[in-house]
Structure 1
């Protein structure tokens, strides 16, 4: 795998195109990850590091495929995944799509031909302009020729892969099918409704609502009788407050079934978007200040929501704290001692006799944060004790420290590290989308989407047949246990049509019979389990209808969304080229030992060592520590030096670090400051205050590398030669002809 990465890196590292440089950065990043052992067969480097180097849609595509690679497709090797990452970076420039996703202009000259294929000027300009907009060398002869050469090679390789029938391999078709399903999920929702939900959430995030509630519990799957009973009880409490004027908090203490009511009397403090379930949140934001909502249904039961206050959002805050534990259960003497201890620590901080970090480490009773200087994660309103939040948000400037204050946990001293507002909508858009997808409000978008699909595909339901079928299914209590069987329907006529869907490109509506629904119910009844057999039967039917409507929509995604078709084509071409390059270049280079040896012998002057040394580099906190070990290091044998290195790495509390290896001239800054001779070097002071010295065990002059020593570079170069020779053959096989007049018209184009 690393040889392939190296091949790509070396091939493009000197290209000037900003787009190609992005590819090189991705490649170099992965090479560095490999060298640092941060990859393995089931995990890979952090993609956030790559994000600045990739266009938005492509980053999402790579991330989606990577998730598919990890979660769904264990047959895809890490090497193949890495190749696809790099290849798809290149494919960003090589999409044969006309401008604006439409048809080419009528007057569109052919730029080049190969075999019986034609590539027009507009096709090339589209991909060229897309990825060279910021290139200062744009439309120079060198830039155009370089890009054209790459594009021709790309088209030839795809053509060759197809001619070899690689697109019919089961591995290719299976992976494409899996990817199609995975990618389709990102398109099967109502974008307009999702945008509305995102906007709604963002607007709610601008304010914080102080709420109290009364909860009457009732399970989601409760019987209609129990549900009605809970609703009526909640409604009666509502009337006690609104008609009789009784106190909300006292009624909360008396009736609320929320376990926390004993402590908070129903008071939930301030909340904002995403901090509670969507129906409760909606009630909080739509009920006027000082008013009480009508009963609100959530998965927990029925709520009465009281809005006590609304204030502008305070954003997020990042603080560190020191906790001195003290509770009301402690004796008065102990409580006073805790207060004095907190005051003493604060006074030492004010006089700068101790840093906050050191005070947290040595004094804080919160041991989970003490080791990190008392640092807490970022938080918003509603996440901490109200009095703690008020103090934290009241601090103005980073570094400000609040005097000791008391909560039910004890005495706190808080230092502000950083504050920030909620951010703009554009900044939060991606995060809002993800949070809504995880939140129960996503069902709102789904319901609108299904309603639209029913209209688009002329969903027609035959009510008598559907009603009779669901009633027959619900007769068996086994469906509540996941044990329902179609056989339980006895002589029920399953041949009747329950609904139809007009699939695109089909002459007649697709009919779905009772047999189809019963078969689905038998396999999926547990997904639909509800509070009674009737609701379970209705739900399993609804799920079946949704899935068939989704299937209808999936059939037109490629024509409806050009970017969907583009991503599919890239995925397909990427897999084809991986198979093709493996057969024609990579595997051949590594299996052809005689050819590799011959290539090395003919080019061994290229693979040279610089002057180098074998050395152990010792680094200490200061010169005193370094001097204490100099004599021992100077007298140590190579085996003893190796043992010292192992001990230093094994002992986290070690007073020094050791790094060993063979280092070339210029590879290590420290070795550039010492004389290159066997033995102990002088001490070298670093700007960071550390002191280092080296023990050089061998000095080696410049000279040729053996094949084994240069193997990775030799294989990469040999692969490059094999590819170049092969591309020449392809250009001959498919008779590439470039229209020079059209090519030259691209130079210095405005």
Structure 2
């Protein structure tokens, strides 16, 4: 064979060995009959690699021993049935359910909605709208009538103008024509907000539906957001019906003159404001943005103030007469500063329906749920008027065993949906037709079951979620075990701990110590002068007053009982009474006045108790681990371990 061919064959052989992949079912070792997979070991090793400070734990074989010990402890915990304790199960379930919420929502859609909301927070829209009210469960006939009505009103709005149409049709009951002033994100239901932001200035939107009915919106202006303001106000309320004695306008102008004369705004608000909620606080209101209050006049007057402590002239609203004073003004915060707050708002706002819709569509696709459901016509056919009186029952020849849909291995039948239909009879009035009742019930039933199935099977569908839950489950179980077997013994078995102390008391001693005052400075001259003053027994406060002047610190003192190797003392420090020599130390200088020297002495049990308990627990755990290694059989696959070493070394 030619040399070139031999080298090529050798190269290929090495390549195959070095690139061999570890399969997900390769068993690295087993504890009795329970397998532990190499993939889990690699995942945990790589995840914790950067967190390990002890270099020995980065060694594969050393880490493997730690991992084996970890698995032995888990085996013992299950042997003791700690995983069956109600408190353990409750805490694990609570954590799992809380964590699951982060994996059940459509994060891509959420992120998109958060960014959209932030963009809209930076733009104020001034608009007005016309609404034809419509019940959410209205019949098709009423829905069509409302839609045709809003189409006609839109045409009139464009042709005749808003004021003319408002005067003719606004009744405040079935038809509304309203000026909305300025607003931004989260101030309107999402469908309304969408229409407003997608309509150009001067245009009228196409008809759209919200939970209130059908709208059209006319956009009058778009401008950069003015952020939020915090103001205080003085309000003189409008006269009550029949009151002709007082004149609110005269009174507010009298108060305004007092302000001009230099009297305190806060004091005048406390004395005269008719707003009982704010008067006691000097008229102070919570911060607000445009569109947040029910009075556009009040918002306009507040946002027209530009200088803190500036106040307005008296102005009128539907509530009475006001004077406002600017306390604080803030622009829209940076995206990163309010991202979490926006996420919470998005999930609570009507726009969250988009997140839910996206999730349901993905689940239908993942679980292969057909869009057409043959059960719907069947259930429409078997409904009758008794459904409206909560007395409807399934017919005698009901096809209950017919398959409705399947999720995984779980089959849902007509019986399941029929029972659901019976349970929801009280939710529908006789104005809602049978086909809509069945359609609404089916969609709600399907969505509920899709969500429940996904949540119940999340570990099987999302490996990251499964890993995190698994780590928490094992960590919680390990805590229960260690508390039961080791930690409680250290804290409660005082006799055993004291015996341990007596057997190892030479390990617990005070190093040589001094009762001293240590002066530190980067200036050698300051330290020399400090040393002379310490020799003269000048009080520390007087020394500080001499050197630490004009807000400049030139000398710092550390005092107390200082042990050998204390951070304030150099390693070559001489332990003797009196003022020490000057030492160069940590890029500066120190001098110490030693009042007393304490020789190395044994610690009493009380003095050493914390260290004794810790060492006692460590020894107890070591002996316990020896027992676990004897109790359980650990079998390591050397071939898989070699693959693991190769993969780690090639990273």
Could you tell me the TM-score, scaled by structure 2's length? 0.65
- Indicate if the aligned counterparts of 1:295 and 1:303 stay in contact, CA closer than 8 A: yes
Equivalent residue, structure 2, for 1:518? 418
Equivalent residue, structure 1, for 2:162? 248
Structure 1 unaligned blocks of 5 or more: 1-102, 133-137, 607-664, 667-703, 740-744
Equivalent residue, structure 2, for 1:205? 121
CA spacing shift, 1:127–1:142, aligned 2, 3 Å: closer
CA distance in 1, matches of 2:212, 2:372: 36
Which residues in structure 2 correspond to 1:67-82 (within 5 Å)?
A: none
CA distance in 1, matches of 2:314, 2:333: 27
Residue of 327, 333, 339 corresponding to 1:429: 339
* Deviation of the 1:347 alpha carbon: 4.2
* Deviation of the 1:219 alpha carbon: 1.6
* Deviation of the 1:301 alpha carbon: 2.0
- Indicate if the aligned counterparts of 1:528 and 1:537 stay in contact, CA closer than 8 A: no
Q: Partner of 1:311: helix, strand, or coil?
A: strand
Residue of 340, 358, 373 corresponding to 1:448: 358
* Deviation of the 1:403 alpha carbon: 3.7
Aligned length: 521
Equivalent residue, structure 1, for 2:47? 127
CA distance in 1, matches of 2:610, 2:171: 71
1:49-89 superposed Cα distances (whole Å, 9 cap, x missing partner)? xxxxxxxxxxxxxxxxxxxxxxxxxxxxxxxxxxxxxxxxx
Structure of larger gyration radius: 2
* Deviation of the 1:273 alpha carbon: 1.4
- Indicate if the aligned counterparts of 2:417 and 2:445 stay in contact, CA closer than 8 A: yes
Equivalent residue, structure 2, for 1:342? 256
Equivalent residue, structure 1, for 2:209? 297
Q: Partner of 1:266: helix, strand, or coil?
A: strand
CA distance in 1, matches of 2:474, 2:428: 40
CA distance in 1, matches of 2:43, 2:148: 67
CA distance in 2, matches of 1:705, 1:395: 71
Which residues in structure 2 correspond to 1:394-405 (within 5 Å)?
A: 394-396=304-306, 399-405=308-314
CA distance in 1, matches of 2:616, 2:423: 56
* Deviation of the 1:604 alpha carbon: 12
Residue of 131, 148, 168 corresponding to 1:215: 131
Residue of 237, 254, 274 corresponding to 2:153: 237
Equivalent residue, structure 1, for 2:398? 493
Equivalent residue, structure 1, for 2:199? 287
1:327-386 superposed Cα distances (whole Å, 9 cap, x missing partner)? 47776865223213223225426xxxx5x6566556655443344454322211112332
CA spacing shift, 1:131–1:259, aligned 2, 3 Å: farther
* Deviation of the 1:706 alpha carbon: 12
Which residues in structure 2 correspond to 1:142-153 (within 5 Å)?
A: none
Equivalent residue, structure 1, for 2:470? 569
- Indicate if the aligned counterparts of 2:123 and 2:223 stay in contact, CA closer than 8 A: yes
- Indicate if the aligned counterparts of 1:277 and 1:298 stay in contact, CA closer than 8 A: yes
- Indicate if the aligned counterparts of 2:132 and 2:175 stay in contact, CA closer than 8 A: no
Could you tell me the TM-score, scaled by structure 1's length? 0.58
- Indicate if the aligned counterparts of 1:218 and 1:230 stay in contact, CA closer than 8 A: yes
1:552-602 superposed Cα distances (whole Å, 9 cap, x missing partner)? 434653254333113211331243134323422455566657657878999
CA spacing shift, 1:104–1:286, aligned 2, 3 Å: same
Which residues in structure 2 correspond to 1:693-732 (within 5 Å)?
A: 718=613, 721-722=616-617, 724-731=619-626
* Deviation of the 1:267 alpha carbon: 0.7
1:377-435 superposed Cα distances (whole Å, 9 cap, x missing partner)? 221111233233334334445x34234342323232312324122422x4433233222
| CA-atom RMSD in angstroms | 5.0
CA spacing shift, 1:221–1:261, aligned 2, 3 Å: closer
CA distance in 2, matches of 1:293, 1:222: 23
* Deviation of the 1:436 alpha carbon: 2.1
Equivalent residue, structure 2, for 1:733? 628
Equivalent residue, structure 2, for 1:270? 182
Q: Partner of 1:186: helix, strand, or coil?
A: helix
CA distance in 1, matches of 2:447, 2:71: 40
